[in-house]
Structure 1
Amino acid sequence: MPPEALSTPAGYLRPDAVAGTWQTTPQRLHAWAAAAYDCGKRRWDALGRNEVWRATAVSESSAAVLCLELERDGLPIDRPGMEALIARSAGSRPRDAADGLRIRADRDARVLAHTPGHEGVDLRNPGAVKALLAAIGIDVPSTRKWLLEPYREAHPLVPALLEWRAQERIATTYGYHWLDTHVGPDDRLRGGWTACDGAAGRMTAENGLHNLPAVLRPAVRAAPGHLFVRADLGQIEPRVLACVAQDESFAAATASDDLYAPVAERLGVERARAKVAVLAAMYGQRSGAAGEALAGLQRAYPVAMGFLDRAYEAGVAAQDLRTYGGRRIRTAGSLDPGSRGRYARNALIQGAAAELFKAWASTVRVTTADLGAQVVLCLHDELLVHVPAEQAAECAARVEQALTDAARRWSGGAPVRFVTDTSIVERWSQAKG
């Protein structure tokens, strides 16, 4: 293959170009940029005149740029605070490997002290833990947390074991090695970001950025002279359903800050039951109280319910679907027909919600840049924006306006209201939710 050729004889990009090591001269950079532009133009032209699909393509591309900035800039961390929180769960920083083993053994011993005669049980072996529980009269099919929770009062071993698991997760996954490896000298936590994780379409991140334990969140702290604007989309899935189903009656309910209140009034039931009905419709629960409430919802909002039913039927038939923004959802596979149907129904809503979120995040990135603001975290339906303290109030107002603007563009002007719970905080843990 000629050294200046961007593609192989078979028509594929050369591997070193994909890795970024080939572009070492202006001529090669030009060839790479020209190929990227041509690819983008071809894909843009393939969208035709569908304005919603085009708007999604723009926001998806912008989200990819945002991912690069998130990787570059990182999430501000209070390093001494994080070290103290890790120590609270994992113990003090080990002096050496032997000290690490001693700390680990001490952590185990505090649990096994509740069962004299069983000091040698390996708490990291689910089978051994299940046998230990059986020895004290607790017979469970597995040792999953949700199965053990009802037994908290039955024996002191259970709460000790559950606490140990939380501490063990910190020690092994978010301990001192994690802190030293992924938090840089500038006290920023960094990891790789992906703009789209597949069918759900959500942004994802590595190195704990997307699954940081709640006990460590107090150490996510704005830099001196800065604050966080934290914003979380409210009741996003049912509001998205009203939009993608084009149900005018259901869309009218979104005018309320609490969508479930007008739905409850229309159904003539309590708010809690209305919420159960809406969630059951989207997530597929059809039995018990959910099934009873769902019947009323189908009578009150037949357009939205018909949309979900058609998605379910398409999934059962293993037919491909497209999200509101045009991304393809493949339903064929090894799942049974019922599981495929539930997956298809949920993927249409979750996928559309992810598209709206990225349109919002991309808009926030642009409209707050002149304030010195940076988007530093995108977590499911939640944004964390780092901003100079004196600009925080203005940034919060722009974050909320960005949602209105992004939703209008993404939805094509659909009469659906989207809301966000926005707060200004120094530490991530200070935000409610």
Structure 2
Amino acid sequence: MGAAEPGAVVVGVDGVGAVLPSQGPAVLARDLPSLVAALSPGTRYVTWSAASVAPLIAAGAVLDRTWDVAEVHRLVHGGWAAGPERAWSAVHGLDASAAPTAPSGDLFDLLADEVPREQLVLDDGYLRADAVTGAWLTTPQRCAAFAEAARQVATAQHEGMTARGPRVLATAHAESAAAVLCVELEQGGLPIDRATARALVADAAGAEPHTLEEELAARVTRDAPVLAALPGTGHVDLRNPAQVKAMLARAGIDVPSTRKWVLEAHVATHPVVPALLEWRKRERIATTYGWRWLREHVGSDDRLRGAWAACDGAAGRMTAQAGLHNLPAELRPAVAADDGHVLVRADLGQVEPRVLAAVSRDEAFAAATREDDLYAPVAARLGVDRPVAKIAVLAAMYGQRSGPAAEALKGLEREYPVAMAHLQRAQDRGRRGEPVRTFGGRLVRTDFGVGGLDDEGRDGLAASRGRFARNAVIQGSAAELFKAWAATVRVAVRPLEGRIVLCLHDELLVHVPQERADEAAAVVDRALTDAARRWLGGEQVRFVSDTSIVRRWSEAK
């Protein structure tokens, strides 16, 4: 793997582990501090996954250069499943579905052939199941054997990625770094102003209930303004869409569903609609981000924590649990920097159309990215107003061909044929259920759906697959650029005592001491230029970030 063999590291049960340096004998350790001390700065370390070395990171390990076997497997093969048994099977030509499973303790386990205690690779070529689960990793020697197996897989993966070109290899490195960042995000948490959070939840959900009766009384209080807007309605369960539709019908409002965007079209029709929309916001906070959410996910150190993943198993976007990726705007005032600190908030501007220009290599479209607002030159070229141009560009990436942008879409195909053809090729592959690949080489499967459909059902499924593929090649590529940027920022702000505390689709929040704020903001912007140049292999397309320094997330515009 490159000029020198990579290192490898495995953490086993109760902190035992092993570090295989790039050169020299293995370091066998019986505690985490010894493992941390054995890591050499600058060495690229192979891990089965960043999550598998989370205890090492919590103990202070700085892993800036890694090769994450699981993330690379997801890049190559698509999907989410990427355990050691799958990655090992893939590079050894084995059927992963035939890999042994961990003992369940039933009678059939007693009939199975007993595996020698120190044998990692079984006679049929598979890894022993209890090594995959981690239960076998009770000694440093076993950890060393498992680390060597990871290094073998990584070497095979590296050879395959190298054959596909430097961009794919660079993506593997960025995805591996993003996986380590995910561990750090979960361990460090998002800073929360608890007093503000409690006040916001109380405003939406009522005072914290301590009994079931108090919780039910709070529900009645939240429901009251909606029912009062339509006197004589009687009892209506606002959490039952059928009953809500019936209630709206009594007000002369016929809607196909009670979705937010459907209701918004009737705001001026009757007072019950704005009351219902306000109720939806409060109910969401009460049920999803209410008092229980605060108790379960905000720690005693005022940090909101949830599990993070570098890949969603589809196009490759980062995901997070505990509401970190769906926090309502009403609660953003509660995301606040610690005393003496600020948040550097940076948001990629118009990133998906700029990515389209990059991945399609459409020179005319790339020229539009030189402007701060790329929709302005596109509108001028199409001879339409800017809002129409924006709708047309977004519709093109999402496969929508009807509505007010239909004529402008024809103009896009005329003026930017290279970009539009790139999207169409992806859509055609998706319609056939064939996989597509992102700019960085991620395999995105489109063979989802069910069998037994009639002709109309098959046509609908094909259309859905096509739209998904059309957007996935852009959304997935944008995710790769974002993660390359985040990985660059992660290292660049460390000397400023800064750390990333949130990655939200195209947005970064960096927590940094107040006196380093301006410097950190400049570093974040410079990191985007550097990451984009490496990701694209040049400066043909300009990427921009809206960067600001705030105390609370809600202050960012």
For 1:275 and 1:127, locate their aligned partners in 2 and report how far apart those are by CA, in whole Å: 36
Give the letter aligned to residue 389 of structure 1.
Answer: Q
Give the letter aligned to residue 238 of structure 1.
Answer: P
Q: Would the aligned equivalents of 1:230 and 1:385 in 2 still touch at CA under 8 Å?
A: yes
Map 1:22-421 → 2, pairs under 5 A: 22-49=136-163, 50-334=165-449, 336-421=461-546
For 1:219 and 1:10, locate their aligned partners in 2 and report how far apart those are by CA, in whole Å: 55
- Indicate the larger mover: 295-304 or 365-374: 295-304
For 1:331 and 1:146, locate their aligned partners in 2 and report how far apart those are by CA, in whole Å: 28
For 2:384 and 2:357, locate their aligned partners in 1 and report how far apart those are by CA, in whole Å: 20
CA 1:289/1:133 → structure 2, altered by over 3 Å: closer, same or farther? closer
Give the letter aligned to residue 127 of structure 1.
Answer: A
CA 1:9/1:190 → structure 2, altered by over 3 Å: closer, same or farther? farther
3-state SS of 1:376 partner? strand
For 1:126 and 1:68, locate their aligned partners in 2 and report how far apart those are by CA, in whole Å: 39
Shift of 1:201: 0.8
- Indicate the larger mover: 274-283 or 16-25: 16-25
Give the letter aligned to residue 390 of structure 1.
Answer: E
Q: Percent identity?
A: 64
* Equivalent position of 2:88 in the other structure: none
Q: Would the aligned equivalents of 1:51 and 1:412 in 2 still touch at CA under 8 Å?
A: no
- Indicate the larger mover: 374-383 or 43-52: 43-52
Q: Would the aligned equivalents of 1:193 and 1:203 in 2 still touch at CA under 8 Å?
A: yes
Give the letter aligned to residue 197 of structure 1.
Answer: D
Q: Would the aligned equivalents of 2:389 and 2:405 in 1 still touch at CA under 8 Å?
A: no
Q: Would the aligned equivalents of 1:113 and 1:119 in 2 still touch at CA under 8 Å?
A: no
For 2:314 and 2:423, locate their aligned partners in 1 and report how far apart those are by CA, in whole Å: 17
For 2:148 and 2:182, locate their aligned partners in 1 and report how far apart those are by CA, in whole Å: 22
3-state SS of 1:229 partner? strand
CA 1:289/1:163 → structure 2, altered by over 3 Å: closer, same or farther? closer
Shift of 1:34: 2.2
Q: Would the aligned equivalents of 1:423 and 1:431 in 2 still touch at CA under 8 Å?
A: yes
Shift of 1:296: 1.7
For 1:231 and 1:93, locate their aligned partners in 2 and report how far apart those are by CA, in whole Å: 34
Shift of 1:305: 1.6
Give the letter aligned to residue 373 of structure 1.
Answer: G
Q: Deviations over 1:141-170 (max 9, x none)?
A: 222222222322333222222211211111
For 1:138 and 1:106, locate their aligned partners in 2 and report how far apart those are by CA, in whole Å: 24
Q: Would the aligned equivalents of 2:245 and 2:258 in 1 still touch at CA under 8 Å?
A: yes
CA 1:187/1:17 → structure 2, altered by over 3 Å: closer, same or farther? farther
3-state SS of 2:235 partner? coil
For 1:379 and 1:14, locate their aligned partners in 2 and report how far apart those are by CA, in whole Å: 38
CA 1:426/1:22 → structure 2, altered by over 3 Å: closer, same or farther? farther
For 1:129 and 1:290, locate their aligned partners in 2 and report how far apart those are by CA, in whole Å: 33
Q: Deviations over 1:218-257 (max 9, x none)?
A: 0000111111110000111111111111112211111111
For 2:358 and 2:345, locate their aligned partners in 1 and report how far apart those are by CA, in whole Å: 25
Indicate the RMSD between aligned Cα atoms, in angstroms. 1.8
Q: Would the aligned equivalents of 1:63 and 1:195 in 2 still touch at CA under 8 Å?
A: yes
Shift of 1:7: 5.1
Shift of 1:15: 4.9
For 2:226 and 2:233, locate their aligned partners in 1 and report how far apart those are by CA, in whole Å: 10
Shift of 1:14: 4.6
Give the letter aligned to residue 167 of structure 1.
Answer: R
3-state SS of 2:359 partner? helix
Q: Deviations over 1:266-305 (max 9, x none)?
A: 2233222222222222122222432211222222222112
Shift of 1:104: 1.8
Q: Would the aligned equivalents of 1:183 and 1:189 in 2 still touch at CA under 8 Å?
A: yes
* Equivalent position of 2:74 in the other structure: none
For 2:121 and 2:190, locate their aligned partners in 1 and report how far apart those are by CA, in whole Å: 37
For 2:124 and 2:178, locate their aligned partners in 1 and report how far apart those are by CA, in whole Å: 31
For 2:196 and 2:130, locate their aligned partners in 1 and report how far apart those are by CA, in whole Å: 42
For 2:183 and 2:243, locate their aligned partners in 1 and report how far apart those are by CA, in whole Å: 45
TM-score (norm 2): 0.74
CA 1:186/1:248 → structure 2, altered by over 3 Å: closer, same or farther? same
* Equivalent position of 2:454 in the other structure: none
CA 1:206/1:128 → structure 2, altered by over 3 Å: closer, same or farther? same
3-state SS of 2:441 partner? coil
Q: Would the aligned equivalents of 1:375 and 1:386 in 2 still touch at CA under 8 Å?
A: yes
3-state SS of 1:142 partner? coil
3-state SS of 2:405 partner? helix
CA 1:64/1:328 → structure 2, altered by over 3 Å: closer, same or farther? same
For 1:20 and 1:227, locate their aligned partners in 2 and report how far apart those are by CA, in whole Å: 40
Which structure has more RCO (C-alpha within 8 Å, separation ≥ 6)?
A: 1
Give the letter aligned to residue 538 of structure 2.
Answer: G
Shift of 1:11: 4.8
Q: Deviations over 1:325-345 (max 9, x none)?
A: 011122223363222222211
Give the letter aligned to residue 431 of structure 1.
Answer: A
For 1:154 and 1:300, locate their aligned partners in 2 and report how far apart those are by CA, in whole Å: 42
For 1:99 and 1:399, locate their aligned partners in 2 and report how far apart those are by CA, in whole Å: 47
For 2:220 and 2:461, locate their aligned partners in 1 and report how far apart those are by CA, in whole Å: 45
- Indicate the larger mover: 200-209 or 47-56: 47-56
Give the letter aligned to residue 324 of structure 1.
Answer: F
3-state SS of 1:349 partner? helix
CA 1:265/1:113 → structure 2, altered by over 3 Å: closer, same or farther? closer
TM-score (norm 1): 0.95
Q: Would the aligned equivalents of 1:109 and 1:119 in 2 still touch at CA under 8 Å?
A: no
Shift of 1:10: 5.6
